[in-house]
Structure 1
Amino acid sequence: MTTEPGLRAEAADLETVRDWFAKLTAQVRAKDFEGAYPLFLDDFLAFGTVAAFEPGRESAERNQWRHVWTFIEDFQFRLDDVRAFVSPDRLFAMGLGIFDSTGFHEDGTPYPRSGRATVGLERKSVDEPWVANHTHMSLFSGTPPRSYGKKG
């Protein structure tokens, strides 16, 4: 187990957690909702700034993802800063990450849009990729809660 503050994961497990965050980054940037489905259990539970307790991928897509991903640009987790707590059997993890993106005011002017995510991850064996059973994504204080997308 690593002893770095904020980390309780072997290097290999931390890398696989970071890989999950990288895959989600790619799906958000591509605005590929269905392509993100394999990263989440069908009955995962999401909540955050935009939606409270969205049960399941379809609900999260409809009430959270589509209200955010469609209206932002340049989404990126700070992958080198992702932290993880991994269970001793290596089948459950909590991943924590900071993200940056560009939001847009109603008149189309951009603003920096950053926040944090806590993600519950599980897998059936250490040879399988992580799948999220829970996400909590929220914006940093003072960040406008809504982005309107680019204009023109």
Structure 2
Amino acid sequence: MSIQAAAPVDPEDHAKVVAWFRDLSAHVRAVDFVAARPLFAEDFLAFGTFSDFVYGREHTEQNQWRRVWGTIDGFIFRLEEVKALVSPDRLFAVGLGIWDSTGYAPDGSPFDRRGRTTVSLAREAVGDPWVATHTHMSLFRGTPDVSHGHKPARS
């Protein structure tokens, strides 16, 4: 077997990767931290905006998500563009997505806040939903790295 980055992906596996991105988008827009938790392994590892590495879901929620989600609006991944790389055993995947959102300058004026995400995903059995084991989210160059919006958290 030769290694191919663009190897064919089972449509069901790809659809479940897209579902992960769709679900995360909805939770970010709703500022619903509790509902987002099952999308992530408890001990997942992230690259952070506010620290180099962020270890664990709880730490990431407190030190990343809660500092961003309530300051932006309209967060959504471009679901039709989500890419997936899936292991031959179909228990590990990498998902790649581009997002759009609205950020706010200190004076309240809106700006386009776009970026990209790479997420490693795992599951115990084929057909199960994917769970993130690692995420890397970054803004596109030139995008202000702080948004000053204020909306309450659902949870």
| TM-score where L is the length of structure 2 | 0.90
- What CA deviation, in whole Å up to 9, does each residue of 1:71-109 have, x standing for no partner? 000000000000010000000000000000000000000
- Tell me, yes or no, if the aligned pair for 1:116 and 1:138 is still in contact at 8 Å: yes
CA 1:132–1:109 in 2, change beyond 3 Å: closer, same or farther?
Answer: same
Map of 1:20 onto structure 2:
20
Distance between the aligned counterparts of 1:106 and 1:98, measured in 2?
A: 25
Map of 2:133 onto structure 1:
133
Alpha-carbon offset, residue 8 of structure 1: 4.3
More moved, 53-62 vs 109-118 = 53-62
Distance between the aligned counterparts of 2:124 and 2:21, measured in 1?
A: 19
Q: Residue 76 of structure 2 aligns to which amino acid in structure 1?
A: Q
RMSD: 1.6
Unaligned runs of 5+ residues in structure 2 are none
- Tell me, yes or no, if the aligned pair for 2:13 and 2:127 is still in contact at 8 Å: no
- Tell me, yes or no, if the aligned pair for 1:92 and 1:123 is still in contact at 8 Å: yes
CA 1:51–1:8 in 2, change beyond 3 Å: closer, same or farther?
Answer: farther
- Tell me, yes or no, if the aligned pair for 2:48 and 2:54 is still in contact at 8 Å: no
- What CA deviation, in whole Å up to 9, does each residue of 1:30-85 have, x standing for no partner? 10011111000000001143442111111001111011101000000000000010
Distance between the aligned counterparts of 2:7 and 2:26, measured in 1?
A: 24
| TM-score where L is the length of structure 1 | 0.92
Identity rate, percent: 57
- Tell me, yes or no, if the aligned pair for 1:6 and 1:83 is still in contact at 8 Å: no
Map of 1:86 onto structure 2:
86
- Tell me, yes or no, if the aligned pair for 1:49 and 1:139 is still in contact at 8 Å: no
Distance between the aligned counterparts of 1:59 and 1:137, measured in 2?
A: 16
Unaligned runs of 5+ residues in structure 1 are none
Name the SS for the 2:106 alignment partner. Answer: coil
- Tell me, yes or no, if the aligned pair for 2:121 and 2:132 is still in contact at 8 Å: yes
Matched, 1:142 2:124: no
Segments ≥4 residues shifted beyond 3 Å: 5-8, 48-51
